[in-house]
């Protein structure tokens, strides 16, 4: 991915720092990246329904684990990693049902 995807602003850093106490701030970040997450999930899973499920699982997992997020990397990169992990879980479930 290019440098634009990895960059973040000072306001994003502040939003991440405040997000543990402020769910509205976290919601803003989630909406900022939701489209990108949906596109990646669709590319991995090949289904709009499964992609939406993966995004929902990703956002739920990320919300639960925001305190564990380290500010060394971009929040978007962290979210994409969580999304890919969720997509792999869904792919493994699909393979087990075959």
Q: Which CATH number does 10-97 carry?
A: 1.10.1740.10
Whole-prediction pTM value? 0.72
User: Which of 10, 11, 12 lies closest to 76, judged by CA?
Assistant: 12
pLDDT in tens, 56-92: 999 999 888 887 877 666 888 989 999 999 999 999 9
Long-range contacts of 65-68 (CB under 8 A, 24+ apart): 66/16, 66/19, 66/20, 66/26, 67/20
- Domain coordinates of the chain in residue numbers? 10-97
pLDDT of residue 22: 62
Q: Quick one: pLDDT at residue 73?
A: 67
């Amino acid at each position: 991915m290019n440098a634009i995807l990895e960059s973040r602003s000072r306001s994003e850093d502040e939003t991440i720092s405040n997000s543990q106490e402020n769910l509205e701030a976290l919601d803003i970040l989630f909406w900022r990246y939701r489209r990108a997450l949906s596109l990646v999930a669709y590319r991995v899973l090949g289904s709009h329904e499964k992609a939406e499920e993966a995004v929902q699982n990703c956002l739920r997992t990320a919300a639960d684990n925001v305190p564990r997020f380290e500010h060394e990397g971009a929040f978007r990169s962290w979210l994409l990693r969580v999304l890919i992990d969720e997509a792999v879980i869904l792919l493994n479930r699909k393979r087990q049902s075959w």
